[in-house]
Amino acid sequence: MAYDLGSGYAPPSTSNAQEQDGSLPMFNVERVSLQFNISSDFVAAAVANNVLVLGLSTGRILRIDLDSPADIDDIDLPKKPSEVGVIKRLFLDPSASHLIVTTTLAENYYLHTQSRTPKALSRLKGVAIESISWNPSQPTASTREILVGASDGHVYEVYIEPSSEFYRREEKYLKDVYHTDDGPIVGLWTDTVPGRADLRRVIIATPSTFLHFAGKLGRSGHEGSGSIFSKLFESESATVHEISNAAPSATSLLAVSPELQETRAHDQSNAERIFGWLTWQGVFHGKLYLSQDTHELGGKVLGDSKMLPRSQIPPSQTASGRTRKTQEPVSSMILSQWHILQLVEGRIVAINRLDDTVVLDQVVLEPGQSAIGLVADIKKNTYWLFTTREIFEIVVTDETRDVWKIMLKSQHFDAASQYAKTSAQKDAVATASGDYLVGKGQYMEAATVYGRSTKPFEQVALAFIDKGEQDALRKYLLTKLSTLKKAYIMQRMMVATWLVELYMAKLNTLDDTITTRAELSESMNTAETHDQLSVIRREYQEFASKYKTDLDRKTVYDIISSHGREEELLYFATVVNDYNYVLSYWVQRERWTESLDVLKKQSDPEIFYKYSSVLMAHVPVELVDIMMRHTTFDAQKLIPAFLNYNNSTRASLSQNQAVRYLLFEINQHNSTDAAVHNTLISIYASNPTTDESALLAYLEGQSQAHEQNYDADFALRLCIQHKRVQSCVHIYSSMQQYAQAVDLALSYDSIDLASTVADRSNTTPALRKKLWLAIAKKVISSSSGIKTAIEFLRRVDLLRIEDLIPFFPDFVVIDDFKEEICSALEDYSRRIDSLKEEMDDSERTAMHIKSDIKALGQRYAIVEPGEKCYICSLPLLARQFFVFPCQHAFHSDCLAKKVVDVAGAARGRRIGELQAEVSKGVGGFKRERAIAELDALVGGSCVLCSEIAVKMIDQPFISSRDDKADWAL
């Protein structure tokens, strides 16, 4: 089967063709085009889980999957209608797995979804089934325990399990569990209680009685072995609702709303389904509440239920256009999520169950056309109308569209807000809800609701102010601020600033209450005020953290300061990362511990530069500890603070924190900044102590590292100014100004220091002698006698007695240094003798050289007739050649070419120039000089065994021109 919704169909008349706002109708009845031919009428129908089952008057059953309607199962009952009766009802479980068929002669059959052969239910033979309550767990392999309602008022419990064995019955057991004399069982419903597998609710409906049972089930030995509902009906009494004067011919049935497709997480009550009991008076309907307390469950369900009277259904029009005066009967009824749909003769009437308004009154059937009834697919939320020849689908579009209005009208604001979809709808709900709460004096609740509405801001604010509800005003502003868009910068800033003022006023009020120990109200004591103070303070902190970008710093500082709220002021400054302000605040109050606590959390160097001077003056050790944890500081910017600290401190150099940090920069961070080094020297030099060891240690460390990161001129001036003689001498020495170093040391009568400089100076002997002479002069002029000067002379190897004589006074007697003079004369004599021997050796060497030169003129070499050139391997005597003492011989042109190849570019170029000059044939002295120079350049040394050959060591023995076979082993 395939169906085409609304194909070429227009209802005869309608009161719901189009909504006034242009949206689609909520309900629309559309004919389904059948794509198959039928030869007999429909007599029964059922729909579940998108499976349609049709019973035909001929005893055939058509089973159609609406998801693939082309596949139709055509199934016949085992016997003809003349034997078992015409199909009267079809009962299809919600999963579409189990089908029970009952006929007009009370013959009952079972058909499983995977079977095509209906099986007779022998135990149910003769039972005219009116209703079935399927197992709430919706099993598919078997029906498990189900309840069957009969036309004689009996309720049976049956367990049906499909079987392929021929003699085995489908029913595992059948048990009569309940009986009533109020007529046929027109409706049954069973559901479970969440969280309690042993609890069940059972609803039984007859034309005049509605019974609600709830309680524990019984348990047999194993599943399917016996009744589980017997105990419930025996031990529990029903909550009953009766209808008097029920007409025997009036249609009565029980319907339950479909399963919810989506359960709203914030409204658990929405998961509770609705029941509807059709009686002659109308439809009795209510909510099937869920509760584990089953004792009062029935009373609650029936107590909150209400009757939709038959008179609520509008009368139809006659053919002449007049309104009928008699009440038309209702032949069928089903429930959607929010509406009650009734079949009134040929009309479908849909009434909203919340406010009893008619939303659909549509004539569907032609005059004289009979209907089987309305059927709902409670799994898929689809609704169907069946006639003897046609099928109609009742299409629902946006069924909840008006629910919010109804909820709002009945002052169920939470539910109205839940179902409001558009911003205009939500705003209307919020405004009405806020007005209602204000009327009841619930200002705090109204503040939250107003904050989400578009009610004029000034009206709401003034209303709270007039009522003196500052707390409600604060809550309203908070809610409003959370809904304002980020683009509304000014509005957000004004609201946020107002909130700061309200928070400060509230905190001050609570503080005053605590201080005076007065009760804030009859129900609040001082202890509660303390708790509220903590709550408001925490609320303010959360507000400041969340909306800090919407607040102007200066304005907030002014507001909080005007209220004298120190803690809140500092918290806000911290939240907006204005640590400058926090530090300034603590420093101005000389709260050094708090200042350091703030500083420990900072990494911005500028904050340290700004406050280093004042903090160095009061907490230098702690400040330096913090600064030494950072690696990004520019020590130059800290120098003013260090110098101010050094001018005021009386600490020794070992305890001086400026020195400690500067040494840390130099030693740990390897600072080469001259300003840092100069500052350290300045502190060392200006210290009152006479001990120069620290300064000297620094200077020597620089020298040992072969560095001089300080300004030597600056350091020298400082050391001279503060009379740091040793340091001055060291600096002079590092500048290699040894004479000035010695003069300075001698000016302070420091002979040993001057001697140290003279000893260490790495200079020429003349300068060293000059230095020692200066020292000697100082020693002689300051010594108490000649003997002291003579002892000094013995310490120095460079000086002799004759060097010192000019420094002695004129009246000195020679006897005082006679021994030294004699020693000097003897030394001179020994040196003269040594020089004479050296002169004799030199003379003999010169004679030998002269004889060798004379012999060179007579030297010769013998050349054999067959000897070859060592370069070209041609006969040597063929042209001009050179022969070397090593017996290597070369043609002059071969040798010249070889020398040009291996010699430098300049030498090769000169050889070429000389060869060109000789080849021109120029005669005379100029030619002879050119030939002599050419011979000297070319024949200066052998190219095979001289220095030239050594330079050719990187060249291979075998060249590309050689035959490698000649070198093969």
The pLDDT of residue 588 is: 83
What pTM was computed for the model? 0.58
pLDDT-wise least confident of 158-167, 701-710, 741-750, 751-760? 751-760
Q: In the block, which residue shows the tokens 């072995």? A: 225
Q: For residues 892 and 938, is the Cβ–Cβ distance under 8 A?
A: yes
The pLDDT of residue 222 is: 62
Token pair, residue 219, equals 């348990």
Instruction: Enter the DSSP assignment of 365.
Output: S
Amino acid at 430: A
Per residue in 950-965, is it b (16+ CB within 10 Å) or e — as a string? Answer: eeeeeeeeeeeeeeee
| 3 state DSSP class of 218 | coil
Q: Which of 713, 819, 12 is nearest to 346 (CA)?
A: 12
Instruction: Enter the DSSP assignment of 374.
Output: E
Q: What percent of the chain shows pLDDT beyond 90?
A: 25
pLDDT at 6 over 50: no
Range picked from 34-48, 105-119, 576-590, 864-878 for highest mean pLDDT: 105-119
Higher pLDDT, 659 or 759: 659
Q: In the block, which residue shows the tokens 């539910």? A: 415
Q: For residues 404 and 429, is the Cβ–Cβ distance under 8 A?
A: yes
User: What gap in Å lies between CA 234 and CA 202, rounded to an integer?
Assistant: 13
| 3 state DSSP class of 175 | strand
Provide the residue count of the chain: 969
Higher pLDDT, 343 or 933: 343
CA distances from 858 to 854, 855, 887 (A): 8, 6, 16
Instruction: Work out the number of other CB atoms within 10 angstroms of the CB of residue 286.
Output: 20
Amino acid at 535: V
Instruction: Enter the DSSP assignment of 5.
Output: B
What interhelical angle do 712-721 and 725-734 show, nearest 10? 160
Give the pLDDT confidence of 174-221 residue by residue, as tens digits: 999 999 998 999 999 999 888 788 899 999 999 999 999 999 988 765
Give the pLDDT confidence of 52-105 residue by residue, as tens digits: 999 999 999 999 998 887 788 899 999 999 999 999 999 999 999 999 999 999
Q: In the block, which residue shows the tokens 């969440």? A: 194
pLDDT-wise least confident of 2-6, 122-126, 393-397, 941-945? 2-6
Q: For residues 383 and 38, is the Cβ–Cβ distance under 8 A?
A: no
pLDDT at 416 over 50: yes
Mean pLDDT of the 879-883 span:
86
User: What gap in Å lies between CA 110 and CA 92, rounded to an integer?
Assistant: 10
**CATH topology for 38-120?**
Thrombin, subunit H (2.40.10)
User: What gap in Å lies between CA 784 and CA 191, rounded to an integer?
Assistant: 130
Give the angle subtended at the CA of 160 by the CAs of 154 and 164, to the nearest 5°.
Answer: 145
Strand partners, 109: 101, 120
Range picked from 492-496, 894-898, 915-919 for highest mean pLDDT: 492-496
Bridge pairing between strands 187-193 and 171-179: unpaired
Token pair, residue 35, equals 């794509």
Q: How confident is the model at residue 815 (pLDDT cuts 50, 70, 90)?
A: low
pLDDT at 17 over 60: no
CA distances from 528 to 294, 444, 471 (A): 41, 19, 16
Q: For residues 834 and 808, is the Cβ–Cβ distance under 8 A?
A: no
Q: How confident is the model at residue 25 (pLDDT cuts 50, 70, 90)?
A: confident
Q: Which of 178, 125, 172 is nearest to 149 (CA)?
A: 178
Token pair, residue 235, equals 């031990």
By CB neighbour count within 10 A (0-12 exposed, 13-18 middle, 19+ buried), where does 531 fall?
Answer: exposed
Give the pLDDT confidence of 310-340 residue by residue, as tens digits: 888 888 776 666 777 677 889 999 999 999 9
**CA end-to-end distance (rounded Å), the chain:** 102
Q: Is 373 left (phi over 0), alpha (psi -120 to 50) or beta?
A: left
The pLDDT of residue 308 is: 92
Mean pLDDT of the 619-647 span:
86
pLDDT-wise least confident of 63-67, 586-590, 706-710, 756-760? 756-760
pLDDT-wise least confident of 234-238, 843-847, 945-949? 945-949
DSSP percent split of the chain into helix, strand, coil, nearest 5: 45, 20, 35
The pLDDT of residue 189 is: 96
Give the pLDDT confidence of 884-902 residue by residue, as tens digits: 888 889 888 888 888 887 7
Bridge pairing between strands 391-396 and 27-32: antiparallel
Amino acid at 826: E
Higher pLDDT, 781 or 365: 365
Q: For residues 751 and 722, is the Cβ–Cβ distance under 8 A?
A: no
| 3 state DSSP class of 351 | strand
Give the pLDDT confidence of 801-812 residue by residue, as tens digits: 555 555 555 555
The pLDDT of residue 11 is: 42
The pLDDT of residue 761 is: 61
Token pair, residue 12, equals 């005869």
Strand partners, 696: none
By CB neighbour count within 10 A (0-12 exposed, 13-18 middle, 19+ buried), where does 388 fall?
Answer: middle
User: What gap in Å lies between CA 330 and CA 280, rounded to an integer?
Assistant: 8
pLDDT-wise least confident of 145-159, 597-611, 805-819? 805-819
Mean pLDDT of the 240-267 span:
78
Compute and round to an integer the Cα radius of gyration of the chain. Answer: 61
Q: For residues 324 and 318, is the Cβ–Cβ distance under 8 A?
A: yes
Cite the beta strand spans of 884-948 per DSSP E.
889-891
Q: For residues 604 and 645, is the Cβ–Cβ distance under 8 A?
A: no
Q: For residues 731 and 712, is the Cβ–Cβ distance under 8 A?
A: yes
User: What gap in Å lies between CA 62 and CA 391, rounded to an integer?
Assistant: 14
Q: Which of 372, 289, 365 is nearest to 334 (CA)?
A: 372
Q: Which of 265, 304, 264 is nearest to 287 (CA)?
A: 304
Q: How confident is the model at residue 468 (pLDDT cuts 50, 70, 90)?
A: confident
pLDDT-wise least confident of 28-32, 420-424, 765-769? 765-769
**CA dihedral in degrees (327, 328, 333, 337; nearest 10)?**
-60
Domain range summary for the chain, segments of one domain joined by +: 38-120, 404-570, 590-814, 815-859, 876-967
Q: How confident is the model at residue 922 (pLDDT cuts 50, 70, 90)?
A: low
Instruction: Work out the number of other CB atoms within 10 angstroms of the CB of residue 325.
Output: 7
Q: In the block, which residue shows the tokens 């040394």? A: 941
Q: In the block, which residue shows the tokens 């939240």? A: 575
Mean pLDDT of the 389-393 span:
91
Long-range contacts of 669-676 (CB under 8 A, 24+ apart): 669/631, 671/635, 671/709, 672/707, 672/709, 673/635, 673/636, 673/709, 674/709, 674/710, 674/711, 675/635, 675/636, 675/639, 676/635, 676/636, 676/639, 676/709
The pLDDT of residue 861 is: 78
pLDDT at 8 over 80: no
User: What gap in Å lies between CA 46 and CA 132, rounded to an integer?
Assistant: 13
Q: Which of 302, 257, 542, 605 is nearest to 399 (CA)?
A: 257
Token pair, residue 141, equals 């392999």
Give the pLDDT confidence of 536-585 residue by residue, as tens digits: 889 888 988 999 899 998 999 899 889 888 888 888 888 888 878 878 88
Higher pLDDT, 268 or 694: 694
pLDDT at 814 over 60: no
Q: For residues 185 and 204, is the Cβ–Cβ distance under 8 A?
A: yes
> Mean pLDDT score of the chain, rounded to an integer?
82
Q: How confident is the model at residue 698 (pLDDT cuts 50, 70, 90)?
A: confident
Distance of CA 693 to the CA centre of its chain: 57
| Ordered DSSP codes for 398-436 | -TTTTHHHHHHHTT-HHHHHHH--SHHHHHHHHHHHHHH
User: What gap in Å lies between CA 95 and CA 113, rounded to an integer?
Assistant: 10
User: What gap in Å lies between CA 467 and CA 590, rounded to an integer?
Assistant: 45
Which residues are within 8 A (CB) of 941 and not within 5 positions of it... i.e. 6 or more apart?
884, 947, 948
Q: Phi, psi (5° rounding) for residue 720? A: -65, -40
User: What gap in Å lies between CA 958 and CA 969, rounded to an integer?
Assistant: 14
Token pair, residue 335, equals 């429930």
User: What gap in Å lies between CA 94 and CA 378, rounded to an integer?
Assistant: 7
User: What gap in Å lies between CA 610 and CA 620, rounded to an integer?
Assistant: 15
